[in-house]
Amino acid sequence: MNNDHESLQSQLDILRQRLSSLNEEIAKFGEPFAPLKKIMERQDTEQAIAQLEKQLGLTQPAPPTPQVMSKHKPRSKWWGCGCGVLAVIVLILALSFWVFLDGVNNSTVGVVYYAANSVAFSPDGKTIASGGSDTVIKLWDTASGKLLNTITGHSNAVNSVAFSPDGKTLASSSWDKTVKLWDTNSGNLLITLTGQANSVNSVTFSSDGKILASGSSDGILKLREAASGNLLITIPGHDKAVNSVAISSDGKTLASASADYTIKLWDANSGKLLNTITGHSNAVNSVAFSPDGKTLASASNDKSIKLWDTNSGNLRNTLTGYSYAVNSIAFSPDGKILAAGSSIDKSIKLWDTNSGNLRNTLTGYSYAVNSIAFSPDGKILAAGSNMDNSIKLWEVASGKLLNTLTK
């Protein structure tokens, strides 16, 4: 029983730290302008904290408000009635907004609350890495779903994970303002990269494994030598947070997506700005190159996915049908399918990249889908969800759920 209590208390401490970080991040945007993904995660985290406090018996009724005698003349009963009606209206609006954001959460008592912020397949497809709000990285066996290793070292939520092309190194970025490189086989820490003033939201390797790119909430991009971690270029690229970074398959172009509503293309060797792509009407959450590098996909809080010509920056297609934010996108290895995970829809949509037609919708989530990744052979899609306590593996061809990886 003591062990259970300590485990729950540990989870509560982590969630409280996460909530504090979320509040700081949202405050920097300004409440009305903060990305919906952050707002929703804060709502979920607050709910999770309340559940754990209830389990631990920490919830106490508020003490009665002391009655203070006023020297002023009492207000009329109509004034009090009016305030009461106003309070009810405000309460109804607040509850409606809560339901609009993420529905009512009927969480099971005793559940370990965990948001899978990022998933990635190893180059051989045998291992899946996941990073989440519990500050740890987990390595899973793709075939069996067995947990292979739990890697600790970050002091706050893990936002992004990426394998090097040879599969020997795993990179992770975190709210703790660091990027860490790990030995994939042993799980040992190789190096910690610092220098960011805020949360590092995205990390990726170039196709030859020589460059490591990262983007953070301070709007800055960094290019490093992957082997040594030495800083090559610092790019003050955006006015607001960089939510996602990607490098084209030829290693020549770096793309960044930002809360400032723009996508920017950079020369991956010099850091020179090549193009600024506009067209989204809200924060851009995710960006991905097609395998041939000719198409760039972007996902936004404006309820859409856009496909762009990489060379010209011209818009090729807009994919709609979402209730709100699209959080994560990924191309299949053959470039024929674009997978997208959404927030309020709590689903994954598979799109035909040539026609723009919807091929399939994968459901079964209780919360927003934060991250998705195709296996190297394109047969399996891995997806992690916000506070869903699991990673789901789907068969791409049929849309069948193959396995659920749980903590």
The answer to whether residue 97 is domain-embedded is no
The winner for highest mean pLDDT among 15-19, 339-343, 374-378 is 374-378
Of the pLDDT bands very low, low, confident and very high (cuts 50, 70, 90), residue 83 is very low
The model's pTM:
0.75
- For position 109, what pLDDT does the model report? 31
| Claim to verify: residue 134 and residue 211 sit in the same structural domain | yes
The answer to whether residue 203 is domain-embedded is yes
The answer to whether the beta carbons of residues 252 and 268 sit under 8 Å apart is: yes
Checking if the pLDDT of 271 tops 80, the result is: yes
Of the pLDDT bands very low, low, confident and very high (cuts 50, 70, 90), residue 47 is low
- For position 92, what pLDDT does the model report? 39
Nearest to 172 by CA among 187, 188, 160: 160
Compute the chain's Rg from CA coordinates. 22
Segment 385-391 shows an average pLDDT of: 77
Of the pLDDT bands very low, low, confident and very high (cuts 50, 70, 90), residue 140 is very high
Checking if the pLDDT of 363 tops 80, the result is: yes
Domain boundary among 58, 76, 103: 58
Q: When comparing pLDDT for 110 and 293, which is higher? A: 293
The answer to whether residue 268 is domain-embedded is yes
| Claim to verify: residue 344 and residue 197 sit in the same structural domain | yes
- For position 40, what pLDDT does the model report? 67
Q: How many domains does the chain have?
A: 2
Segment 47-71 shows an average pLDDT of: 54
- For position 390, what pLDDT does the model report? 82
- For position 115, what pLDDT does the model report? 76
| Claim to verify: residue 12 and residue 143 sit in the same structural domain | no
How far is Cα of residue 9 from the mean position of the Cα atoms in its chain? 25
Domain boundary among 13, 43, 58: 58
The answer to whether residue 89 is domain-embedded is no
The winner for highest mean pLDDT among 2-6, 27-31, 191-195 is 191-195
- Cα-Cα-Cα-Cα dihedral of 175, 181, 183, 184, to 10°? 60
Report the C-alpha gap between 169 and 127 in whole angstroms: 12
Domain boundary among 58, 73, 99: 58
CATH number at residue 338: 2.130.10.10
φ/ψ (deg, to 5) at 87? -60, -40
Percent of the chain with pLDDT over 90: 64
Percent of the chain with pLDDT over 70: 76
| Claim to verify: residue 41 and residue 125 sit in the same structural domain | no
| Claim to verify: residue 48 and residue 123 sit in the same structural domain | no
Of the pLDDT bands very low, low, confident and very high (cuts 50, 70, 90), residue 30 is low
Average pLDDT, the chain: 83
| Claim to verify: residue 16 and residue 122 sit in the same structural domain | no
Checking if the pLDDT of 236 tops 70, the result is: yes
| Claim to verify: residue 286 and residue 372 sit in the same structural domain | yes
Of the pLDDT bands very low, low, confident and very high (cuts 50, 70, 90), residue 20 is confident
Of the pLDDT bands very low, low, confident and very high (cuts 50, 70, 90), residue 402 is very high
Q: Could you tell me the residue range of the domain that residue 367 belongs to?
A: 116-406
φ/ψ (deg, to 5) at 403? -165, 155
Of the pLDDT bands very low, low, confident and very high (cuts 50, 70, 90), residue 366 is confident
| Claim to verify: residue 53 and residue 151 sit in the same structural domain | no
| Claim to verify: residue 50 and residue 132 sit in the same structural domain | no
- For position 5, what pLDDT does the model report? 63
- For position 76, what pLDDT does the model report? 46
